[in-house]
Amino acid sequence: MFLRSLCASAALCLHAHFPASAAEPAAEDAVTVNANTEDILRGALRWLASKQNVNGSWNESDSRRAIHPVAITGYVLLAFMATGNLPDEGEYAKPVKAGLDFLLDSIGADGQYRGVAGGQYMYNHGIATIALGELYGQSRSPIIREKLQRAIRLIVTTQSDRGSNKGGWRYQPRPGDADISVTVLQVVALRAAKNAGLDVPQKTIDDAVDYVRRCSDPGGGFVYQAGQRGTGFSRTAAAIYSLQVCGHYDDPLVQPGSEFLFQHHSERRFWTYGANYAAPAQYMIGGETWRRWYDIMKAELLPRVQRNGEMCSWDDHEIGNIYTTACYTTILAMPWHYIPLYQR
């Protein structure tokens, strides 16, 4: 089954904000959130909630990064969802509802989010639409559905149809160039919407999968653009997660890609971006692969926590503290199985 049923996921979210015991994963999953990690996650949520703006958004304080409130809000909403919070459930229901309203208010009639710099528009569009897709899937709100469909329609109509770029996306909301890092965000958004029952052409997904496969390298990794050389940790994580989220769990490129991630997890270039996709990719492989990966993530992340009283955060100097803390919270909370999109 591609995902757990949404009904099962909704039932799971009826539990308390955190599970009564952190060790309550599915029976087949031996990976658990221990007490120390749970304490850090609680502190991270407190810190993230404290950083919300009056208009419901989150944004980095560095003026150079202040052009991405739509994307940062999407990442933070996923972190809250990963710990069991929805707009009407959980200790942080109120900030989740405010963040959701901010994204909905940002979507124009053409499906584009307002207030996003054009240079990297589709990054913002992808992650915000993923968050909306997951929120709609667990709420079935008609208000979310109507605006989510607009955002999905924009993704479908801006897919490249040109040569080696066919099936992919890049920075601008128009067909043309493509790269793996932008493409993964659109693929995951499409899958989240399709899982929730929205109209997504299968051909759009199939063409995207073909593009991802064309970015593969015989050594197991993936390159930034089809036809290029130069594999890397972050692009490989994005690629194999794209294949899995589209249902290609046993694709012959997934296992070599997983092994590549183990071999290159110390590669620092865009590490947070890569880790954010490597985690669900290894999680969906499951078993010993996921256990080993989660141990690596804990060894990497827990010693780097910055504590300030009861609050916890991280900064890897990639984009900023809010982005980083949101991503790492989502990764560490993954054994709780709250986000349907991360289920096989």
**pLDDT band of 166, cuts 50, 70, 90:** very high
Quick one: tokens of 68? Answer: 């991405």
* Average pLDDT estimate for 150-174: 96
Q: Tell me, yes or no, whether 18 lies in a domain.
A: no
CATH number of the domain residue 156 falls in = 1.50.10.20
What is the reported pTM? 0.91
Q: Tell me, yes or no, whether 288 lies in a domain.
A: yes
Helix (H, G, I), strand (E, B) or coil at 107: strand
> Could you tell me which of 28, 80, 62, 92 has the C-alpha nearest to residue 288?
28
pLDDT value at residue 106? 98
Cβ neighbors of 195 (< 8 A, separation 6 or more) are 2, 3, 6, 133, 137, 340, 341
Of all residues in the chain, the percent with pLDDT exceeding 90 is 82
Residue 18 has pLDDT above 90, yes or no: no
pLDDT value at residue 268? 87
Q: Tell me, yes or no, whether 12 lies in a domain.
A: no
**pLDDT band of 64, cuts 50, 70, 90:** low
Helical spans, DSSP H, in the chain: 6-12, 35-50, 69-82, 93-106, 121-139, 142-157, 180-195, 202-214, 233-245, 254-264, 271-285, 287-301, 321-332
84: left (phi over 0), alpha (psi -120 to 50) or beta: left
Q: Tell me, yes or no, whether 24 lies in a domain.
A: no
Q: Tell me, yes or no, whether 4 lies in a domain.
A: no
Q: Tell me, yes or no, whether 23 lies in a domain.
A: no
Q: Tell me, yes or no, whether 14 lies in a domain.
A: no
| Interior angle at CA 123, CA 306 and CA 92, nearest 5 | 45
Mean pLDDT of all residues in the chain? 90
- Structure confidence by residue, pLDDT tens digits, 212-243: 999 999 999 999 999 899 999 999 999 999 99
Q: Tell me, yes or no, whether 341 lies in a domain.
A: no
- Structure confidence by residue, pLDDT tens digits, 129-157: 999 999 999 999 999 999 999 999 999 99
From the CB of residue 331, how many other CB atoms can be counted at a distance below 10 Å? Answer: 24
| Contact assessment for residue 264 and residue 3, using Cβ atoms and an 8 Å cutoff | no
pLDDT value at residue 108? 97
Show the domain range for 172. Answer: 32-335
25-39, 47-61, 318-332 — which is least confidently predicted? 25-39
Residue 80 has pLDDT above 60, yes or no: yes
Count of domains observed in the chain? 1
